[in-house]
Structures are given as C-alpha cells and as structure tokens.
Amino acid sequence: MAFQCYKCSGALSDSFKVMVSRSDTCSHCMADIRCCKMCIFYDPKVYNECRESNADRITEKEKANFCDYYKFGPGGDSADKQRQDALAKAAALFKK
C-alpha cells in the first residue's frame, strides 16, 4: 500500500514505513510527516481526535510532535478517503 501526504496527497517514500523522525517532511509540500494526521490512531470523529486513549492531548494535529504512541500510516482523513473511494468504485459496478 502506497502512503500519501495528508496535505498534498503526494506519494511518500517507502522508507517512512521503517522509521519516521520528527524532522521528516513531505518532499512535495514540506508538511510534517510525524504528526497526528499521519498516524494510524488519528480519527477526527473521536474524543481528542485520537483512538489511543493513553496518548497526551495534542492540539496542533498538523505539526510534528513527540507522541510516544505515533505509528506511521494513513490517518483518519486518508483512511476515510480510501474507504469512500472503494465504496464509490463498488457502487459504480452496479450502475446501468
């Protein structure tokens, strides 16, 4: 699965799957990669926008942070977009 930047949707390097440092940025738009919006726990629909209940509250979701629970992956926005795209493709199969 190829990951995309939350901000510009540019393709991200596969090296981020191994390790993401706090200073890593998107090569296309320079957005921070080690931020809440690029974490698997990010979910804008839950309390504190984080599904990890032990994580500290972070108010700036697009800025690099030191969260101990950070795991690189598609955050809530990306996951929702991918889900919506898949549902739209499935619905298109059954249209006349």
Q: What is the pLDDT of residue 68?
A: 93
**Count of domains in the chain?**
1
The gap from C-alpha 58 to its chain's centroid, in whole angstroms, comes to 15
Dihedral through CA 5, CA 69, CA 42, CA 29, nearest 10? Answer: -20
Greatest Cα-to-Cα distance within the chain, rounded to the nearest angstrom: 51
Specify if 46 maps to a domain: yes
More confident residue, 39 or 79: 39
Specify if 5 maps to a domain: no
Domain, as residue range, for 70:
14-93
The answer on pLDDT for 79 being more than 70 is: no
Could you give the C-alpha distances from 33 to 16, 48, 62, 63, 79, in angstroms and in order? Answer: 9, 19, 8, 8, 16
The mean pLDDT value for 36-55 works out to: 92
Specify if 68 maps to a domain: yes
The answer on pLDDT for 31 being more than 70 is: yes
Confidence of residue 77 (pLDDT cuts 50, 70, 90): low
The answer on pLDDT for 75 being more than 80 is: no
Specify if 88 maps to a domain: yes
Specify if 6 maps to a domain: no
Reported pTM: 0.74
Amino acid at position 96, single letter: K
Percent of the chain with pLDDT over 90: 45
